Amino acid sequence: MVRRSGKWHTNTTSDVYQNPFFRVREDEVIRPDGTEGKYYVIEALPAAFIVALDDDLNVYMVGLNRYAIGQYSLEVPAGSLDSGEKPLKAAQRELQEETGLTADTWQLLGITNPMNGSVNKNNYIFLAQGLHQSEQDKKEEEGIMEVRKVSLRETLRMVQTGEIKDEETIAALSFAALKVGYLSFNEPNETWSARGVYG
């Protein structure tokens, strides 16, 4: 079998590792320059990321220690889709599990592909508004150390200073900032601006 992707040609593909969250495949390929080689791709479960925004443009963030990097990380609520689960249902479930919040309105802001040089994965970014506190959550089970309410403007400053480093959270906050008008392009010359964010 030969599968073509741009100027890449895939001759064969096989799984070399698998667990409940991702699998690694090894492809025998012909590179764009015509040479042969191997390409390893991680096939990961899709995930939902939630920007929970209240009426005052505050974002509900979760803080936890990330084992892989051995560091504390402040992030938007997020999690992988269960088998057969729709992205919106996953987003609603993850928001309640990680923060105890539910929301009246939901909007898909965009879909991103993280680390697309080696990973095949869709991240679905949702905006949740009309927030309500419920009595049910799984913060301890999820390893959530804190739920922190931070203004959207402040989260962008924290991205700039490196206090928020998680790239998927940064993408989600950027979508939200675009949605509320904090980040924009001014017509007609498309000059970039960050209105009222840092000043």
Q: What is the model's pLDDT at position 30?
A: 94
pLDDT, residue 1, reads 58
pLDDT of residue 194: 56
Is residue 198 predicted with pLDDT exceeding 50? Answer: no
* Alpha carbon distances (Å) from 87 to 117, 168, 187: 23, 16, 34
pLDDT > 90 fraction of the chain, expressed in percent and rounded: 80
**Gap between the Cα atoms of 101 and 135, Å rounded:** 9
Q: What is the pLDDT of residue 135?
A: 78
Instruction: Report the pLDDT value the prediction gives residue 137, as an integer from 0 to 100.
Output: 75
Contacts 24+ apart (CB under 8 A), 164-171: 164/74, 164/75, 165/73, 166/73, 166/74, 166/75, 167/114, 168/47, 168/49, 168/75, 168/78, 168/112, 168/114, 168/123, 169/49, 169/74, 169/75, 169/76, 169/78, 171/49, 171/112, 171/114, 171/123, 171/125
Q: Which residue has the higher pLDDT, 154 or 191?
A: 154
Is residue 26's pLDDT more than 50?
yes
Q: What is the average pLDDT value for the chain, to the nearest integer?
A: 91
Find, among 82, 176, 87, the residue nearest to 128 by Cα: 176
Which of 3-17, 122-136, 175-189 is least confident? 175-189
Inform me whether the pLDDT recorded for 199 exceeds 50: no
Confirm if 71 and 166 have CB atoms less than 8 A apart. Answer: no
pLDDT at 64: 95
Query: What pTM was estimated for this model as a whole?
Result: 0.88
Higher per-residue confidence, 130 vs 181: 130
pLDDT in tens, 93-151: 999 999 999 999 999 999 999 999 999 999 999 999 999 998 777 778 778 999 999 99
Which CATH architecture is the domain 47-186 placed in? Alpha-Beta Complex (3.90)
